[in-house]
Chains A and B, each alone.
Chain A
Amino acid sequence: MEGTLFNIFAGLTLLSAFMVVANPFSRNPVTSAMFLVTAMISISGLFVLLGAYFLAAVQILVYAGAVMVLFLFVIMLLDLREAARRKLNLISLAMGIMAVGALFSVYKSSLESTYGEAPQQHEAANTGQAEAKPAKVVGSTRALGQALFSKDNGFILPFEIVSILLLVAMVGVILLSRKEPR
């Protein structure tokens, strides 16, 4: 069950991410934005599978909600009809796929050498302490809030700094998008 859901969400994520980058049917940025929404929603499905319920909700709220509205507003504002007509350079696409594919295969082989044979050795080494395997955490709102605001090792100072960052970003956006910068 979980494996099937994982396959569905992972496939949907990768497919729609690829459609954001290189859609064979349309050059329109709005299509890319819509596929970005599907990618974000399926990523939040992966978060649910990982037990991060709060983050799944936040992912949908922030990305599918706020970020996507911003993107669509800007696409509307910029009038990119001419850009949509430009063709994707096939040579550069092939070169890009080759370069990124090489990088990804390095990553994949390092992943395989880390997690491929190692678990058997690791488990063979300490079969006695099978209980030592950490319990799977559930990122419910309560658990995450307690981790965030606990008194001894919480994240209260970073939380306050993030609130200042949001204020600075807001002021910066207003300053940048003013009509006549003085």
Chain B
Amino acid sequence: MEPTLSQYLLVSGALFAIGLLGVIVRRNLLIIYMSLELMLNAANVALVAMSRFNGNLDGQVMVFFIITVAAAEVSVGLALIVALYRKRQTADVEDLATMKL
């Protein structure tokens, strides 16, 4: 029994939901960042599944670009976290509430 498009999209949606849960619930900046990666990958799974079941390779080219941009994004984001840690000695979002009213 070959899996259908909607099964793949369901997995992708569940993966996205788990990533969103991590962003909402966790308070550690690094874990939030990992959850963001999970959400990005959920979008990738959906794109590849669409590309497969519609017979068009453009979706996979898009995923290729997304992976490249995600790598750049991770490096910049982690550098920002390191710079923040140097300034504030914390990687916990509860301690970074300067802009809270």
* Residue B82 is within 8 A (CB to CB) of chain A in the complex: yes
Instruction: Collect the chain B residues with CB atoms within 8 Å of residue A47's CB.
Output: 45, 48
Q: Please, how many residues of chain A have a CB less than 8 angstroms from a CB on the other chain?
A: 80
SS class of chain A's interface: helix, strand, loop or mixed?
Answer: helix
* Contact indicator B67/A147 (Cβ below 8 Å): no
Distance in angstroms from A166 CB to nearest chain B CB is: 6
* Contact indicator B9/A50 (Cβ below 8 Å): no
* Contact indicator B3/A33 (Cβ below 8 Å): no
Give residues 1-53 of A contacting B (CB, 8 Å). 2-3, 6, 10, 13-14, 17-18, 20-22, 29, 32-33, 36, 39-40, 43, 46-47, 49-52
Q: A residues within 8 Å of B by Cβ?
A: 2-3, 6, 10, 13-14, 17-18, 20-22, 29, 32-33, 36, 39-40, 43, 46-47, 49-52, 54-55, 58-59, 62-63, 66-67, 70-71, 74-75, 77-78, 80, 83, 86, 88-89, 92-93, 96-97, 99-101, 103-104, 107-108, 111-112, 114-116, 134-137, 139, 143-144, 147-148, 155, 158, 162, 165-166, 168-170, 172-173, 176-177
